[in-house]
């Protein structure tokens, strides 16, 4: 095996921060976790922050005038400030939602229902997660609008000629992912946002696979809306972020009605609260927001640039080893345009069989269409196997993945020969 350049991250020390990574599942020889693109593991600092809230000061926010409620409110709003700093955006632009899916649906139901008209065009791409497709299809059905998907090339990049032709049709909304959850393709977000604006459209960016792995600058992107998933960036599930330009949020009607999102209610109607509260009806995800802030602080302390560089080293090694294995087809673009995700197929073996048998070896990978059916259809496959790397993975995990693939290949060959 060739020597590897040192990482900026001390992975062995980092692993000690994650209690679950100290446990080996029953009946398995080890734990090699390679499914962070689906949901990341949680460091002790996040667990502690959430536990402390529930044990020491939990109460509903923005309502009580007793000490617990006041402290919960302070910590909840401090979490909003932390996330704003993490994403480099304004605090009044940060809305807590139930997740990335809820964030996109909020945009579609609020801005979309108010602004999209019959015959309008919504542009997305073939590489989108269903969460950034289905809400637009639903909006188009409600408003008798149209959805067009920008094609993906054979090497996993957006077809820029087709992109331009789509924008020339003057769309109302342009929605796209910053990083593909299957191909790992890193899209030029700022450039795409500028092109969408020149076409007269708003730009909606799905940053679920970007925020955990590389520095994000929402201001520099200049997107109208950016959505982020909490559970993919070391935070808990049940919370996401919707970043919107204040001038748009101020004009948008609320998506959900109830307590917390009102200014006044009278017998014949109501008036809305201002700022993020307008879109945070009911009891918000208090504990989850505090946990997410702890996750953002953890990532900031390690350094997103260091995390990205570390994952790139793992990606390069994974491509190098897997590409030498006969029958392996790696999906996605060249390494310089790719994040730490390796999706592949193995000739003659279904991805579900690969994932099942990998698990027997203590290796957790993803199998299926990864909520990207149009993308898999584009490449003529029903499913793929995905290994995704994060800050707690190292070269030994990449080697275990490759060894697992070779072992499965040998096992299936012997079985066919019988």
- CB count within 10 Å of CB 212 equals 30
CA distances, 240 to each of 19, 40, 378 (Å): 23, 14, 29
Percentage of the chain exceeding pLDDT 90: 95
Which domains are seen in the chain, by residue range? 11-30+303-417 (3.90.1150.10), 47-301 (3.40.640.10)
Q: What pLDDT is attached to residue 2?
A: 43
Q: What pLDDT is attached to residue 63?
A: 84
Q: Low-confidence residues of the chain, pLDDT below 70? A: 1-7, 417-418
Q: What pLDDT is attached to residue 410?
A: 84
Gap between the Cα atoms of 263 and 260, Å rounded: 8
- Decide if 166 is catalytic: no
Q: What pLDDT is attached to residue 415?
A: 74
Q: What pLDDT is attached to residue 6?
A: 61
Helices vs. strands in the chain: H and E counts, helices first: 15, 15
Q: What pLDDT is attached to residue 201?
A: 98
Which of 100, 243, 272, 371 is flagged as catalytic? Answer: 371
Determine which helix (DSSP H) or strand (DSSP E) holds 47, and give its type and residue range: helix 44-52
CA-based end-to-end distance of the chain: 33
């Amino acid at each position: 095996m060739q020597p590897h350049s040192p990482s900026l991250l001390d992975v062995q020390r980092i692993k000690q921060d994650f209690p679950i990574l100290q446990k080996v599942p029953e009946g398995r020889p080890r734990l090699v976790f390679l499914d962070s693109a689906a949901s990341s593991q949680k460091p002790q600092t996040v667990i502690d922050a959430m536990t402390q809230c529930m044990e020491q000061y939990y109460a509903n926010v923005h309502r009580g005038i007793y000490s617990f409620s006041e402290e919960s409110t302070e910590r909840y709003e401090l979490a909003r400030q932390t996330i704003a700093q993490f994403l480099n955006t304004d605090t009044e632009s940060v809305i807590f939602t139930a997740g990335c899916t809820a964030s996109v649906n909020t945009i579609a139901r609020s801005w979309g229902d108010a602004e999209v008209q019959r015959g309008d065009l919504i542009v997305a791409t073939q590489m989108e997660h269903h969460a950034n497709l289905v809400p637009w299809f639903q909006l188009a059905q409600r408003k008798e609008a149209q959805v067009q998907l920008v094609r993906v090339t054979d090497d996993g990049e957006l077809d820029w000629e087709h992109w331009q032709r789509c924008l020339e049709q003057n769309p109302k909304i342009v929605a796209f992912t910053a990083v593909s959850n299957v191909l790992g393709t890193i899209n030029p977000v700022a450039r795409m946002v500028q092109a969408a604006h020149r076409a007269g459209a708003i730009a909606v960016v799905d940053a679920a696979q970007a925020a955990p792995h590389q520095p994000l600058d929402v201001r520099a992107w200049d997107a109208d809306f950016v959505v982020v998933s909490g559970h993919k960036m070391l935070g808990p599930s049940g919370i996401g972020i919707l970043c919107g330009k204040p001038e748009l949020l101020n004009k948008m009607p609320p998506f959900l009605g109830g307590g917390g999102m009102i200014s006044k209610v009278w017998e014949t109607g109501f008036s809305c609260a201002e700022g993020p509260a307008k879109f945070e009806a009911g009891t918000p995800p208090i504990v989850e927001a505090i946990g997410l802030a702890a996750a953002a602080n953890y990532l900031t302390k390690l350094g997103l640039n260091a995390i990205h560089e570390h994952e790139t080293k793992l990606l390069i090694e994974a491509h190098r080893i897997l590409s030498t294995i006969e029958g392996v087809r790696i999906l996605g673009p060249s390494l310089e345009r790719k994040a730490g995700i390796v999706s592949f197929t193995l000739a003659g073996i279904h991805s579900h069989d690969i994932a099942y048998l990998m698990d027997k070896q203590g290796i957790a990978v993803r199998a299926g269409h990864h909520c990207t059916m149009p993308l898999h259809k584009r490449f003529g496959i029903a499913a793929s196997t995905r290994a995704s790397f994060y800050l707690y993975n190292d070269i030994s995990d990449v080697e275990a993945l490759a060894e697992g693939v070779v072992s499965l290949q040998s096992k299936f060959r012997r079985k066919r020969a019988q």
